[in-house]
Structure 1
Amino acid sequence: MAGTVRRAIRFPLWLVRVIWLLILPLSFVALGIWQEQRAAATLDEYRQAGQELPQVLAQLQQMEAKTPSAFVTMGGPDGRRMPVSMAVAGVRRAIDTMEEGAEVSRIRYPLSWGTMTGGLLAFLAGLSGLLAARVSALRARRSREALIRSFDRLRRGLPFALAAVLVGLSIASVSASLFEAASLWFWDHLSTSSVKLFAAAVMLAGLAAYSAVMAVIAMRRVFDLYTVEPLDIRGLVVSRDEAPGLWRFVEDLATRHEALMPDSILIGLTEGFFVTEAPVRPLGGERVLSGRTLHLPAPCLPLIGETELAAVIGHELAHFSGGDTTYSRRFAPIHAGLWRTLTALGERTGTGGFMLAPALHLGFHTLESFDLSVAQHRRQRELEADRRASLVSGPESVPLALLRNAALAPAIFETLNDAFSAPDTAGPDMMAEILRRVEDGLPNPAAHLDECQPHPTDSHPRTALRISTLGVQLDERLLARAARTPTAEDTSLPHRLFTDWSGLCHALTAAYLDEARQAHRLNREELEAAVAAVPAEHTVLYENGRPMIWAMAFIAALFAAFTIGTTVFGRELGLGTDQGTKAFIGAVAGVGICMALGYAAWVRHKTKAPLMTLTPDALISARLREPVAWTDVGGMQVSAARRLALVLALHEEAPLPNRIGFSIYNKVNRRERTVVLEAMGIRGMKAAEFEALVSRYLTAAYARRRLAGD
């Protein structure tokens, strides 16, 4: 929120990835080297002590037998001088603990190598992954075949690189933690070693178990990168019996384009024209389509025209010819699937995000390194498909199809959006409704020249670029042809392609409206749940002054203790019998006590009155003359640094409340339109609980308004 949130320092993405993938693993390697040196030195010390201490004990025992009252100096020339009996007892205790210390030292030594090995594994995997991504991306720019080969090799090795980074950092972090926990034994182990070791063992066992679980989950998700998830497309599959004319139309175009036939034809409602070799799952069904799938949007079929339809389908079938088939099968769906999988993995990390962050950075860097090559080859393949389609359907067929499709998009979108917003009032055939909306002509297609045709897994160049590449002059004549009113021949085309076009339109519309009604039901249930999350009665909140009262009581006690100390121990403090000085000190302390107790009494009185009252409709504050309606609040934030602060950002049209009296802690900023209410705390609540409570009231108010509007 403006004016209330500190601006965080943001590092460049490349630096963040270098830190995660190179500097962090190298830090573990350096830590492991240091730990190995410490472990080796400690182990040598215990080995040497194991040889020397028995000899020292024998010499001390001989001395004690001859001269029991003798004194010896232990620890070298600057050591401590003590009776020989005490020295014998100390050496015996050292010998008793020496074996245990040597065992701890032997345990620590391999842990240091675990830190080094894990860090080195993560570093090599990260460095190899970065270099492989760079080399593969450079090779991919040479040709489409090189792109496919490079990406295929890289995506096969990517899961192993991600797993190596994850496993390496897990081993390094756990080994380093266990090493340092074992080092606690050497800290005052004569008195509290058992407690320290037990606490450290419990914490590190939890860390090790958590890391192991996260590693298993991440490994499974990483190796799932081989699996291409099906595309969920809203549509109906049409067979040859249901659309004999369409299948003949497509077969004729495939023959003329020397392209492969699609295995399935899907008629949809909300997507555009496209082909894919990725698995497709029509919404509402469990069947997954495999092989080559051609998707056609039902709203365009009665409006685009036969020539333009042939050009569009020809363009899509061109992706099933030549080298484009390999690209469509081995690259496009897998590349899109990897993006979806990594994105989903990043969103589901939860509290284990720290463990998975380096692997995710490597995965995203690998995919992003192909962005330039992918964009280049996508542009080339789309322009090549346009060229092939224009050779078969005519030079102006593709530009007309692009312009007409773009001009139809607003009417189609508005019709679908209106039907989704009010499914109970929508007609049974949305294709007929779209036709009614464009019967007076289409808008000027020139307004859509900078747009790109939609695609669920791919992207297209701008329409203007595609037309200019074909060498067709974009003049008023071409624009007028693209914006023509649909003719009877255009609108009768679907009836020639399908055995029951009206039935198909009704089925698509019914499925879409059912989905809209289900979405409305779910949305209403969410709104009702939000409203029910706050009580109908008012919630009264009080300021938490107890910590301040106790603090003032403590300060008063300190003043009192100081006064008593100066009175009782005045002579020792050098005050002697100077009654004036004692009186002055007593007066100052008395003033301090009165001020502390007076402030505590004021805080206690102040906190007896409600700080704020939360009602279903508004927030009522003791610091504001007017309540703040929840629906006037555009955003809120709670911070708890020195004091608890509630910041409300009001809408532009919302009235600003007025403060009651003067306060340095409560502000109404008219320029930024924010209201800041501060307090020492909320009685019986932590800051996070208070923020959640206010958020529930705010959400409930907007939900109630939404429900009232329905």
Structure 2
Amino acid sequence: MKSLKLIAVLILLPLCLGLFGIWVLQRSSQTEMELARTNADLIDLRPQLESLAAQPDSRSITVNIDDEQVSVALALSRLTEAEEVLSTLQPLSAVMTVLAKAVVVLGLLASLAGVLGLIWLRWAGSRANQSREQLLRTFTEVSRTLPYLLVGHIVAIGAAVAAILGFEALGIWHAGKMSTGEFKLMGIALAVMLGCLYSIWQMGKQLRVMLRMFESTPMPVLGQVVTPEQAPVLWAYVRDLADQLGALAPEHIVMGMTEGFYVTSSDVDLLPSGTALKGRTLHIPMMYLGLLDAAETSAVIGHELAHFAGDDTEYSMRFVPIYDGIGRSLGLIAGTMLESDLLQRSILRPAFMLGMYFMESFDHAVNHWSRVRELAADAAGATLAGNIAAASALVRISAIDPLLQERVGAHVGHATHPAEHDLTRDLPTSVLHELAALTLTLPDEEMETRLPHPSDTHPSNGERLASLQVTVEEAVSRGTRPIVAAQACAALNQYFADPQALRTRVTEDFLGHYVTQDAAAVEELRTHASQATEEVRLHEGARLRGWITLVFFAMLMLLGLGLLMWPLLFPEAVGSKKGLILVTGGVLAFLMACLLPFSLRMLMRADKTALLLTPDQFVFANLKQPLPIQHVADFGLRVGQGVHLNLLLEDDAPMPELISRSFFAPDVKLDKKKRWVQLQLMQFCRDDKKLKEKELAELIGTYLNAGTARHLLQQRFEQVD
């Protein structure tokens, strides 16, 4: 389906513009030929008229022009006027021909660019499967060139549309007196054309986004950089492991809290300090330095350093940062699209679609080579500490990680509710003691899980154990050994010059980051909650439409009754048409009798409340209980036979109960299968003023956001005024 959409946007749309341009060019060529023939006729006619005008009796001579006998002088005057008009039409025709040719060229070039782009991506994706070197080369080539191709494609389509509008605007000009309406129509078309060109020019910001869509963006990492002075033992240990592997040592070591071990050559945006790191960075989850033994730590860090050894070095330092950064760039473009207007979204959508297709074209090759390099890195790590240590490290991390995430998450929750809990100033020590009280287990399905990693696709744990030639039982037995808090804390502290100060600083940064995020989220919730504090009554308000239809249907019904009475009152005037008149009158009277109640319905419920919006609930006339806003997952509007407001309920929300209502009162319908609550009205009014579709959507969206925000704040035990 994605391929079909891309073909439609990148190939078929510009191809249609090009074909339209060919038709426009034919029209322009035909007009140009007609003007050329007219010009030739005028050139031939002038000498003849001037010769007649030079004769002594020229005043008595008449000539036939368009079946009208006129004097020679008048004929010359009309000839001069025609030449003046022609002097205007011919340049306009030449410009129109240029515009028509531009539409053809731009449309066909854009279509050709779309064809070549998709073929190129398909070819590059298949070529990348041949080797990691081919993957790196083709991915780099495409990422550098494709954005310019896409920008050219978008500009070409925009210019082609503008050229079509310009052609049609100039085509309104004709010989003879132009009417005011024609001038206005031509002005409107030219204004739309200029608006289109201006919009393309205004898209400079979005075009820059597209040109940079395949550039790497910094990788956000929450952690603390440790220098060789702060962690002399750790730096010496890591450098020694790198020397043993013949690998490049990291330029930075970052102490994290919950993310796994990994190396990256991407630019790093270190949080919360905002420090920018460039070059090779090794990320170490701090608590695992105490949770793993020395051999397991060597195997895991050795695995990561192996990505900077041998043939894997170039792949790790060049390809992985680009590939990882492009994924983040596409996320930024998606965010930009959500904040852009309709025109900008329309222009950015092909870029986003092509970017996703670009990444998908290389997915198979990336996954394949990622699996190969991860298994090779496992083998390299095992050479430092042994296969059993490498295998038990995999199992131990898999067993501890969910418990670690849960305990750290609990402390984050405590930090965001400081009045209710005592805050820790040493998160690693607190969590290590809490984990020591828990029993490590590893369900069988964990052998199919992948370890957390921000950029690579890891093989399953079971596959990695098989590659290390270690049985699951042996790895699980060693990897799920109990945690001894004192030993873990001592093992962690040995790497740092001042471990207490570092643990305190890492704790403050980590918890402070989430406290700041939580405060911003709360402030945003409060802002949303304050935007809908009053009750709003929505009603149909179709009183005028009700009166018009009521009078119209009543008149037709009277006509039908009159037709029924006519044969009875005037039988001699009806003659043989009595049956036809009776049938016509009966059908008309019956239909109007069926339609009249709907007109009365519009009149009687025009002012009745169809939907009452409150800060926390939606109140419908025929629902037994008000509908809490937190039970609404989404909403939609559909225009057709009135306006349909559809509210989608959350999966765990109870279905509302209907109560019987009068036909002449507004009511909702329930679709229990799709979990929709639907209200259909001819129109929605607020204070007797009709709401446009956009206004209604904004109003419903505001109350939904406000109600949801209030509910979330109340869950945080806050009182919202």
What TM-score results when the alignment is normalised by the length of structure 1? 0.86
For residues 466 and 187 of structure 1, the distance between their equivalents in structure 2, rounded to whole angstroms, comes to 82
Residue 309 of structure 1, CA deviation: 0.5
Q: Is the 8 A contact 2:238 2:301 kept in 1?
A: yes
SS in 2 for 1:497: coil
The question of 1:479 aligning with 2:476 is answered yes
Q: Is the 8 A contact 1:129 1:362 kept in 2?
A: no
Q: Is the 8 A contact 2:28 2:97 kept in 1?
A: yes
For residues 674 and 413 of structure 2, the distance between their equivalents in structure 1, rounded to whole angstroms, comes to 35
SS in 2 for 1:195: helix
The question of 1:28 aligning with 2:17 is answered yes
Taking the TM superposition and a 5 Å limit, the aligned residue runs for 1:83-482 are 94-186=82-174, 190-191=178-179, 192-214=181-203, 216-225=204-213, 227-349=215-337, 350=340, 351=342, 352-423=344-415, 424=418, 425=421, 426-440=423-437, 441-444=439-442, 446-475=444-473, 477-482=474-479
Residues 252-272 of structure 1: CA deviation (Å, up to 9, x unaligned): 111111111111111011211
AA partner of residue 622 (structure 1): A
What residue is the counterpart of 2:711 in the other structure?
705
Do the aligned partners of residues 557 and 697 (structure 1) sit closer, same or farther apart at CA in structure 2, a change above 3 Å counting?
same
Residues 402-436 of structure 1: CA deviation (Å, up to 9, x unaligned): 11111110111101221222312242222223222
AA partner of residue 386 (structure 2): G
- Residue 522 of structure 2 is aligned with which of 521, 524, 527? 524
Deviates more, 1:377-386 or 1:642-651: 642-651
Residues 523-578 of structure 1: CA deviation (Å, up to 9, x unaligned): 22222222211124x32222221451364277379879999xx9xxxxxxxx9x97
Q: Is the 8 A contact 1:545 1:607 kept in 2?
A: yes
AA partner of residue 184 (structure 2): V
Deviates more, 1:506-515 or 1:130-139: 130-139
What residue is the counterpart of 2:612 in the other structure?
613
For residues 95 and 229 of structure 2, the distance between their equivalents in structure 1, rounded to whole angstroms, comes to 75
For residues 674 and 591 of structure 2, the distance between their equivalents in structure 1, rounded to whole angstroms, comes to 41
SS in 2 for 1:453: coil
AA partner of residue 167 (structure 1): V
What residue is the counterpart of 2:566 in the other structure?
none
AA partner of residue 687 (structure 1): E
AA partner of residue 326 (structure 2): L
Do the aligned partners of residues 605 and 225 (structure 1) sit closer, same or farther apart at CA in structure 2, a change above 3 Å counting?
closer
For residues 130 and 606 of structure 1, the distance between their equivalents in structure 2, rounded to whole angstroms, comes to 57
Do the aligned partners of residues 165 and 371 (structure 1) sit closer, same or farther apart at CA in structure 2, a change above 3 Å counting?
same
What residue is the counterpart of 1:555 in the other structure?
552
What residue is the counterpart of 2:567 in the other structure?
none
What residue is the counterpart of 2:701 in the other structure?
695
AA partner of residue 406 (structure 1): S
Do the aligned partners of residues 398 and 196 (structure 1) sit closer, same or farther apart at CA in structure 2, a change above 3 Å counting?
same
SS in 1 for 2:397: helix
SS in 2 for 1:301: helix
Residue 506 of structure 1, CA deviation: 1.9
Structure 1 residue runs of 5 or longer lacking an equivalent are 1-11, 75-80, 567-574
For residues 80 and 173 of structure 2, the distance between their equivalents in structure 1, rounded to whole angstroms, comes to 19
AA partner of residue 311 (structure 2): G
The question of 1:539 aligning with 2:536 is answered yes
Do the aligned partners of residues 96 and 224 (structure 1) sit closer, same or farther apart at CA in structure 2, a change above 3 Å counting?
same
Q: Is the 8 A contact 1:681 1:687 kept in 2?
A: no
AA partner of residue 483 (structure 1): T
For residues 7 and 156 of structure 2, the distance between their equivalents in structure 1, rounded to whole angstroms, comes to 16
Q: Is the 8 A contact 1:415 1:430 kept in 2?
A: no
Residue 205 of structure 1, CA deviation: 0.7
What residue is the counterpart of 2:512 in the other structure?
514
Residue 184 of structure 1, CA deviation: 2.5
SS in 2 for 1:294: strand
For residues 490 and 592 of structure 1, the distance between their equivalents in structure 2, rounded to whole angstroms, comes to 87
What residue is the counterpart of 1:7 in the other structure?
none
For residues 680 and 187 of structure 1, the distance between their equivalents in structure 2, rounded to whole angstroms, comes to 48
For residues 299 and 699 of structure 2, the distance between their equivalents in structure 1, rounded to whole angstroms, comes to 58
Deviates more, 1:694-703 or 1:406-415: 694-703
Residues 333-369 of structure 1: CA deviation (Å, up to 9, x unaligned): 0122123223422442432233344444444333322
SS in 1 for 2:309: coil
Residues 550-607 of structure 1: CA deviation (Å, up to 9, x unaligned): 64277379879999xx9xxxxxxxx9x97999x9999999999999999766643432
Q: Is the 8 A contact 1:272 1:295 kept in 2?
A: yes
Deviates more, 1:553-562 or 1:227-236: 553-562
For residues 633 and 216 of structure 2, the distance between their equivalents in structure 1, rounded to whole angstroms, comes to 41
SS in 2 for 1:428: coil
Residue 82 of structure 1, CA deviation: 5.6
Do the aligned partners of residues 295 and 45 (structure 1) sit closer, same or farther apart at CA in structure 2, a change above 3 Å counting?
same
Residues 15-73 of structure 1: CA deviation (Å, up to 9, x unaligned): 222222222232233233332222222112111111214656887997996576x987x
Do the aligned partners of residues 590 and 360 (structure 1) sit closer, same or farther apart at CA in structure 2, a change above 3 Å counting?
closer
- Residue 49 of structure 1 is aligned with which of 38, 48, 55? 38
SS in 2 for 1:678: strand
The question of 1:667 aligning with 2:669 is answered yes
AA partner of residue 325 (structure 1): T
Taking the TM superposition and a 5 Å limit, the aligned residue runs for 1:580-659 are 603-650=602-649, 654=654, 656-659=656-659
AA partner of residue 644 (structure 2): A
AA partner of residue 25 (structure 2): E
Q: Is the 8 A contact 1:121 1:164 kept in 2?
A: no
Q: Is the 8 A contact 1:411 1:437 kept in 2?
A: no
For residues 413 and 177 of structure 2, the distance between their equivalents in structure 1, rounded to whole angstroms, comes to 72
Aligned length: 677
AA partner of residue 35 (structure 2): Y
For residues 325 and 112 of structure 1, the distance between their equivalents in structure 2, rounded to whole angstroms, comes to 54
What residue is the counterpart of 1:492 in the other structure?
490
SS in 1 for 2:452: coil
For residues 247 and 595 of structure 1, the distance between their equivalents in structure 2, rounded to whole angstroms, comes to 88
For residues 256 and 14 of structure 1, the distance between their equivalents in structure 2, rounded to whole angstroms, comes to 48
For residues 603 and 187 of structure 1, the distance between their equivalents in structure 2, rounded to whole angstroms, comes to 53
For residues 630 and 141 of structure 2, the distance between their equivalents in structure 1, rounded to whole angstroms, comes to 55
AA partner of residue 302 (structure 2): G
Do the aligned partners of residues 129 and 495 (structure 1) sit closer, same or farther apart at CA in structure 2, a change above 3 Å counting?
same
Do the aligned partners of residues 93 and 709 (structure 1) sit closer, same or farther apart at CA in structure 2, a change above 3 Å counting?
same
Do the aligned partners of residues 196 and 375 (structure 1) sit closer, same or farther apart at CA in structure 2, a change above 3 Å counting?
same
For residues 131 and 622 of structure 1, the distance between their equivalents in structure 2, rounded to whole angstroms, comes to 58
For residues 365 and 595 of structure 1, the distance between their equivalents in structure 2, rounded to whole angstroms, comes to 55
SS in 2 for 1:281: strand
What residue is the counterpart of 1:8 in the other structure?
none
SS in 2 for 1:106: helix
Do the aligned partners of residues 123 and 617 (structure 1) sit closer, same or farther apart at CA in structure 2, a change above 3 Å counting?
closer
What TM-score results when the alignment is normalised by the length of structure 2? 0.84
AA partner of residue 347 (structure 2): M
Percent identity, aligned pairs only? 28
Residue 323 of structure 1, CA deviation: 1.8
AA partner of residue 156 (structure 1): R
AA partner of residue 464 (structure 1): G
Do the aligned partners of residues 478 and 270 (structure 1) sit closer, same or farther apart at CA in structure 2, a change above 3 Å counting?
closer
AA partner of residue 616 (structure 1): P
For residues 153 and 598 of structure 2, the distance between their equivalents in structure 1, rounded to whole angstroms, comes to 58
Q: Is the 8 A contact 1:225 1:341 kept in 2?
A: yes
For residues 389 and 593 of structure 1, the distance between their equivalents in structure 2, rounded to whole angstroms, comes to 86
Deviates more, 1:202-211 or 1:84-93: 84-93
Q: Is the 8 A contact 1:421 1:516 kept in 2?
A: no
